[in-house]
Structure 1
Amino acid sequence: MTTSPLLAGRVALVTGASRGIGAAVAERLAREGAHVVLVARTVGGLEEVDDRIRSAGGSATLVPFDLMDTARIDVLGQSVFDRFGRLDVLVGNAGMLGHFGPVAQFDPKTWDRVIATNLTANFRLIRTFDRVLRASDAGRAIFVTSGAVAGEVAYGGAYAVSKASLESMVKLYAAEVARSSLRVNLIDPGVVRTKLRAQGFPGEDPSTLPAPEDVAGLFVELASPACTRHGEIVRA
């Protein structure tokens, strides 16, 4: 007797899917049977992820655009519903580091872009996909946070502020949908080997860090219809 993949028949959308954690999670969700909608700015990176998914027998759809394009995000929910008739899993992974530095000396344009990418874009995603996720028999929304939100180390800049605000917003959203079948959680992937990590800690030896694939299973757990966790920050 064969067992159906955990996410067979499900549709999942992953932002920041062209590399790092986003790519690893998208490929793992596809292996579990989900059709994955790949969202990122870089078309080339998305095509590579799509090729790997298809080579492994999975299915995906590429949606290349910048999350700063809020007008496009606002119609994304209806577009996905029109094409697939559902969305079961939303993974808000895309993030921007900007730079570390004193708040008083932070470049305002960089500050605004980091906040827009890490916080406002996720608000727009919640807004456009709320109805579709609630319509699923087991909607799942997963957002990526960071240990930087603790604010215990100086110079975290807009990145730390945006992730702290993201946590507050997602917890609020989780409380609002608590009586529905939608489960909403955050993942702090910890110290994972990514380009963003290398940008923030250039002196670190990446060979000593876990790979993005090492945390992808945790996303699958939270994306599963069997998941009961809700309103949590799950540490990898």
Structure 2
Amino acid sequence: MTETKTLDGRVAVVTGASRGIGRAAALALAEAGAHVIAVARTQGALEELDDAIRRVGSSATLVPLDLTDYDGIDRLGAAINDRWKRLDIVVGNAGILGNLMPIGHITPKVWGQVMDVNVTANWRLIRSLDPLLRMSDAGRAIFVTSGAASKCKAYWGPYSVSKAALEALVRTYAAENATTAVKAMLLNPGPLRTDMRRAAMPGEDPETLRTPEDLAPHFVRLASPGSTDSGTIYDFPTDRILTPQATR
């Protein structure tokens, strides 16, 4: 008898799915039985992910999309509605670091790019996909945040501001779904062995850090119908659920 997987038959969107945290999350969701709609800018990397998903016996739909193509996000929602009439899981992982420099030196272009990807694109995802999540018996939305949202370290201005705004966005969305079957969570991965971390901390030994694959099972847990947490932050470094009042 075939063992039933946690996410059998469920449909999941993962952004930034071609590498790092997004790739590990997509593969873990697929291993748990979900059909993964993998969104990223790089076609070749998406095809490599598709091969990996097939090797674990699951399937994927590849969506090459720049998340600043907001009309494209709307088209994604329409296509999911046409094919499945619902969506069970959203993982909003895609994000950019921007430049690490004094706030007064940040150009309007860089500021706009960080806000467009880290905040506005996630709002557009919610706007497009919320009706589909509400059609699920247990819609789950998980957005990747950062300790930078509350630490507000020097030179991290755009990134810190964008993650603080993302947290307010997701907590508001969770509050608006308090009486529905949709749960919305934030996930703080902490320091992981990723390209973004390497760019931010070039002198750090990556071998001292945990990997996206270490984090990935927690996406499966939060995406599962049995998960009831909403409007809070799962903090991977401490393995705790943090309330909005808690500090990191």
TM range (shorter): over 0.9
> Which whole-Å CA distance do the structure 2 matches of 1:115 and 1:24 have between them?
24
1:49-60 alignment runs, 5 A limit: 49-60=49-60
| TM-score using structure 1 length | 0.98
Q: Deviations over 1:46-103 (max 9, x none)?
A: 1111111112211001000100101111222121111223210000000001111111
- Partner residue in 1 for 2:211: 211
Moved more, 115-124 or 81-90: 81-90
CA contact (8 A) 1:99 1:200 kept: no
* Number of equivalent positions: 236
| RMSD over equivalenced CA pairs, Å | 0.9
Number of the residue aligned with 2:116: 116
| Aligned partner of residue 164 in structure 2, secondary structure | helix
Q: Normalized against structure 2, the TM-score is what?
A: 0.93
Name 2:242's counterpart in structure 1: none
What 5-or-longer segments of structure 1 have no aligned partner?
A: none
Structure 2 counterpart of 1:68: 68
- Following superposition, the deviation at residue 107 of structure 1 comes to 1.4
Q: Which residue of 1 is the match for residue 227 of structure 2?
A: 227
Which blocks of at least 5 consecutive residues in structure 2 are unaligned? 237-248
Q: Which residue of 2 aligns with 1:194?
A: 194
Task: Say whether 1:21 aligns with 2:1.
Answer: no
Map 1:160-175 to 2 at 5 A: 160-175=160-175
Q: Is the 8 A contact 1:10 1:35 kept in 2?
A: yes
Paired residue type of 2:160: A
Runs of 4+ displaced beyond 3 Å: none
- The reply on whether 1:140 has 2:140 as its aligned counterpart is yes
Letter in 2 for 1:116: D
Instruction: Report SS of the residue matched to 1:8.
Output: coil
CA distance in 2, matches of 1:87, 1:150: 31
Matched-pair contact (CA < 8 Å) for 2:85–2:135: no
Deviation, structure 1 residue 152: 3.8
For residues 90-105 of structure 1, the aligned pairs below 5 Å read 90-105=90-105
Q: Aligned ranges for residues 171-186 of structure 1 at < 5 Å?
A: 171-186=171-186
SS in 2 for 1:215: helix
The percent identity for this pair of structures is: 56
* Residue of structure 1 in register with 2:9 after alignment: 9
